[in-house]
């Protein structure tokens, strides 16, 4: 099994599509006003947004995009007018993260984890015997 797509809700794709394009995602399906799909610049993962009448309640959705050059990418996005709620910060789980919200309030986390993404020091050992 391989996770290859995540879809998030949006009230207005005409605001959301440019936001995700500015992040660096490439638009590959544009079925406005109801749906848009992007491909990530690295790998084969796709990401989409779909129109909803009402956003989910509570904390909402967190979407993580890994950036090899996190600090430089954040500075570039800031120079293009993107507002970050959290500057790149080293986290106790050994990831470096910057946080911002998309036009619908979904939390977007740009991060760099390196080997710690899949192999943190506290990883569960699945070897038997």
**Count of Cβ atoms closer than 10 Å to residue 105 Cβ:** 12
Q: Where are the domains of the chain?
A: 5-115
C-alpha–C-alpha distance, residues 16 and 91, integer Å: 28
* Statement: residue 129 has pLDDT above 80: no
Q: What is the pLDDT of residue 87?
A: 98
C-alpha–C-alpha distance, residues 66 and 45, integer Å: 12
Report yes or no: 29 and 36 within 8 Å, Cβ to Cβ: yes
- In CATH, the architecture of 5-115 is Roll (3.10)
State the pLDDT confidence band at 128, using cuts at 50, 70 and 90. Answer: low
* pTM exceeds cut of 0.85: yes
């Amino acid at each position: 099994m391989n996770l290859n797509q995540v879809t998030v809700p949006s009230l207005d794709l005409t605001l959301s599509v440019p936001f995700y394009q500015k992040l660096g995602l490439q638009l590959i399906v544009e079925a406005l006003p109801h749906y848009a799909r992007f491909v990530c610049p690295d790998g084969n993962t796709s990401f989409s947004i779909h129109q909803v009448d009402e956003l989910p309640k509570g904390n909402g959705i967190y979407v993580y995009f890994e950036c090899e050059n996190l600090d430089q990418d954040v500075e570039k996005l800031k120079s293009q007018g993107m507002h970050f709620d959290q500057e790149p910060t080293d986290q106790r789980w050994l990831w470096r993260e910057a946080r911002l919200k998309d036009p619908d309030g979904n939390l977007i986390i740009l991060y760099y984890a390196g080997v710690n993404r899949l192999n943190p020091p506290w990883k569960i050992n699945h070897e038997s015997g």
